[in-house]
Structure 1
Amino acid sequence: MPFVVRWSGERDALMPMVVRKGGRGIGYADERSFDRDGEGVLWTRVPSQPGKGTPEFGKVHTLRQRLCMAELRCQICGGPADRSPSGVLWLIDADPSELRPGDERTAHPPVCRPCAIRSTTACPHLRPAFTALRVRAFLPYGVTGALYAPARPMPVTVNAGQFRLGDPHLPWVRATQLLLTLTDFTVIDPDDPAA
């Protein structure tokens, strides 16, 4: 079972949203230090209870996705992603002709080699088309999430999408996934043990 998949027993915590003092964005009424990252982005609170209920394929657990991206963990097993002198192993659900060298954005964490081999035949998103990459350089891009606006009695969702770090809307976003830009990579053959 993929490490980043969400389980039916892991429901969003019902968190009352508030406008922060001075109208500086949104927050939780009982906000805690772990609710925000180092950039000050507010993250969706979801309990971590892998294995509780049934897997909800296509839904990603917010915290586990962030951990895999930030710590270069495999999105399938949660262990270290495969690294070589050529870079970190990533599987992208796109044709090589669709990739944007220097600016390929992804919310999908890297993988280890054994999981990469298994997932290319088991994952419905990867079966039709995927590209294996060795990524030498990447940068945080931003987040996906919900954009809120002030309202009474509490802020309301007005949009959802991707928000770049530094975006003036970011204080009004409740994030769900971390996005990275893959800036330097090479397309590889995943079946080549030397790649």
Structure 2
Amino acid sequence: MPSVPVAPYITAWSAEQDLPCVLVERPDHRIGYANELLSDRDRHGVLWQQTALRRGVGRPEFARVHPLRQRRAMELLLCQVCGGPADQNDDGVLWLQRDHSDDWPQWPEGMASVEPPVCLSCVPVAMLLCPALRRGAVVVRVRECPIAGVRGALYRRSVLAPSAVTAGNFAYDDPAVRRVLASALVRELRGCTLVPVEENATRLGL
């Protein structure tokens, strides 16, 4: 088994708090920052939550995901645990998911995922670091995983400043995404093949 990191690559640390950016209304009816930079938006024009980059400083906060590292891992298909390239073969990119096969008959086909993929050697590490995965997990090979949108908070107009009203997933072609402050990139999983962890322990190195 590979050495276990202190925390997965995408985990936020206690020194990585959200930056004090002031939200404003733009003339084009989008939300924006008062002192906005080009890097504050992705290539689709969606505004992103700005968080300090101080990985390894303080303590890992396993319940929080760092927006920039999650976005980078999803864009480049990097392992969410070590930050290296995710495993890929003829069957597709490797994902490790909690077992929600009772959610719908073809699960996880068509699922909108905010969890980046993994590399083969980090599967046992992820199982060790994430208590939720110990309650049931499956390895998924995904042939197609197009970027579909973002997860974030939707803001409405308010008297003083834009006000958050709800959180969820928003497709890039949804007009509402113009008023979303994104915190995670979403990929849609297509062409999925389930590889139950229990039946493939030897091949996965568990």
TM-score (norm 1): 0.93
Residue in structure 2 matched with residue 11 of structure 1 by the alignment: 17
5+ residue gaps, structure 1, are none
Residue in structure 1 matched with residue 46 of structure 2 by the alignment: 41
Instruction: Give RMSD over aligned pairs.
Output: 1.7
Residue in structure 2 matched with residue 121 of structure 1 by the alignment: 128
2:30 corresponds to 1:21 = no
Provide the aligned length of Structure 1 versus Structure 2: 194
Residue in structure 2 matched with residue 173 of structure 1 by the alignment: 180
Deviation at 1:192, TM superposition (A): 4.6
Residue in structure 2 matched with residue 145 of structure 1 by the alignment: 152
1:80-105 C-alpha deviation (Å, 9 max, x unpaired): 10111111110011244445354122
2:180 and 2:148 map into 1 onto residues whose CA distance is 15
2:24 and 2:30 map into 1 onto residues whose CA distance is 8
Deviation at 1:154, TM superposition (A): 1.3
Report runs of 4+ in structure 1 exceeding 6 Å deviation: none
- Note the 1:106-117 alignment, pairs <5 A: 106-117=113-124
2:182 and 2:108 map into 1 onto residues whose CA distance is 26
Secondary structure of 2:74's aligned partner: helix
Could you say if the C-alpha distance between residues 82 and 16 of structure 1 is closer, same or farther in structure 2, counting changes exceeding 3 Å? same
1:177 and 1:89 map into 2 onto residues whose CA distance is 19
Of the structure 1 ranges 146-155 and 32-41, higher mean CA displacement relative to structure 2 is found in 146-155
Contact conserved, 2:154 with 2:164, CA < 8 A, in 1? yes
Of the structure 1 ranges 91-100 and 33-42, higher mean CA displacement relative to structure 2 is found in 91-100
1:141-177 C-alpha deviation (Å, 9 max, x unpaired): 2111111111232111111111122111111100001
2:68 corresponds to 1:58 = no
Identity %: 39
1:32 and 1:134 map into 2 onto residues whose CA distance is 37
